[in-house]
Amino acid sequence: MASIQRTARFIEPMECLPAEQIPEGDLWTYELKLDGYRLVTVKTGGKVSLYSRRGTDLTQRFKDVNAALASLPDDTVIDGELVALDDQGRPDFNLLQNFRSAESHLMFYAFDVLVRRGEDFTKQTLSKRREILKSTVKPRDHVGISQVSHQTANEMLAFVKTHGLEGIIGKRLDSVYEPGRRSGLWVKHRVNLSQEFVIGGYVPSHLGVDSIVIGVYRGKELHYAARVRAGLVPLTRRQVFETIKPLVTAKCPFVNLPEKDAGRWGQGLTGEKMKECIWVKPQILAEVEFLEWTGADHLRHTKFVGLRDDKDPRSVVRET
């Protein structure tokens, strides 16, 4: 039975475990992996609020989406993804970064209901929650429901590759909702290698930033992974610079620098090359696409996709 809670509140979202292979079986269902911002929607006291996965209030930032969710029942909590769609209807993270110039492209796709009319459904199975979601969220401009595929994992994978999409989310039908946990009942599989990295420094240019220096955490230590220049255009160079310049620090945040040599592919950051860098406190994240991880734990053929502010930098580790 669902439990009663007096008022709805922010609930830390359940996380997906990165997976090399897509799990299969009668209990597994699949959704498209959407390239956007995770949003938890809370309606209480007649007011709708939008929260990032870290609990940051984004209500005023996405006013059209907020208004479109006004029909939600009171004391309701919905989990979903905010995306910006390009002209072909595909999620485009760069477009989301500049949503003010393309407000009509914004869509919030709901994929789970955690609380409805004060009833807590997090202990119910996913299959039950999906039934409740359909009767709770009304699709309209800026709001939709994430579609569940009835294809096999291989068919779903082929569809994603053919249409140039980011990846697949697999979820067990019998999974309960585990706030803040990454238990493996939900998994994500990316077709193109891409993940978040922590910005720990940059190489300056007349546009602000020539390249960014990124890394991932191992325990409490930040490890250098690459310098990224591709994908940075004049507009994003200035945006990145304006975001990270207040964080400048004299101390290099990477524990594995300097390196002895540049390595086979030239990704190494030696003491000499470090002279070009300006260090920043590791508080800002960048989404980066890449070809592969090398044996030296560096990235090859990187491309900047966009800045992110919806995750805790300390949670950014190397994904499988």
pLDDT of the residue at 295 = 81
- Report, as an integer, the average pLDDT of 260-268: 67
Maximum distance among all alpha carbons in the chain?
Answer: 64
pLDDT at 182: 93
pLDDT at 245: 96
Structure-model confidence comparison of residues 5 and 91, the more confident one? 91
The third-level CATH classification (topology) of the domain covering 3-190 is D-amino Acid Aminotransferase; Chain A, domain 1 (3.30.470)
pLDDT digits (tens, 9 = 90+) for 129-165: 999 999 999 999 899 999 999 899 999 999 998 887 8
Q: Are 127 and 174 in contact (CB under 8 A)?
A: yes
Calculate mean pLDDT across residues 236-240. 95
Contact 137, 39 (CB under 8 A): no
Q: Where are the domains of the chain?
A: 3-190, 194-315
252-256's contacts with Cβ under 8 Å and 24+ in sequence apart are 252/200, 252/201, 252/277, 252/279, 253/200, 253/201, 253/215, 253/222, 253/279, 253/280, 253/281, 253/282, 254/200, 254/201, 254/213, 254/215, 254/222, 254/223, 254/224, 255/221, 255/222, 255/223, 256/223, 256/224
How much is the pLDDT for 313?
A: 96
**Mean pLDDT value of segment 286-296:** 88
Q: φ and ψ at 298, to 5 degrees?
A: -115, 165
Same CATH topology for 3-190 and 194-315: the answer is no
User: What confidence tens digit (pLDDT) does each residue in 92-120 have?
Assistant: 777 787 666 555 589 999 999 999 999 99
Q: CA-CA distance, 144 to 5, in Å (whole number)?
A: 26
Residue 190 forms beta bridges with which residues?
167
* Percent of the chain's residues with pLDDT above 90: 73
CA–CA distances in Å: residue 214 to residues 125, 243, 313: 39, 15, 11
Does the active-site annotation cover 188? no
Q: Which two tokens stand for residue 194?
A: 């891409």
What local confidence, expressed as pLDDT, does residue 21 receive? 86
Sequence-ordered list of residues with C-beta below 8 angstroms from that of 59, at least 6 positions apart, any chain: 48, 49, 50, 66
**Does the predicted TM-score (pTM) go above 0.95?**
no
What digits encode the pLDDT tens for the residues 191-200? Answer: 878 899 999 9
Q: Is the pLDDT of residue 36 over 70?
A: yes
Catalytic pick from 33, 43, 171, 188? 33
Indicate the range of 6-10, 29-33, 47-51, 305-309 predicted with least confidence: 6-10
pLDDT in tens, 199-223: 999 999 999 999 999 999 999 999 9
Fold (CATH) for 194-315: OB fold (Dihydrolipoamide Acetyltransferase, E2P) (2.40.50)
pLDDT in tens, 171-180: 999 999 999 9
- Residue of higher predicted confidence among 112 and 35: 112
Instruction: Look over the chain and give the mean of its residue pLDDT values, rounded to a whole number.
Output: 91
Whole-number pLDDT of residue 291: 79
Q: Which amino acid is at 144?
A: G
pLDDT at 301: 87
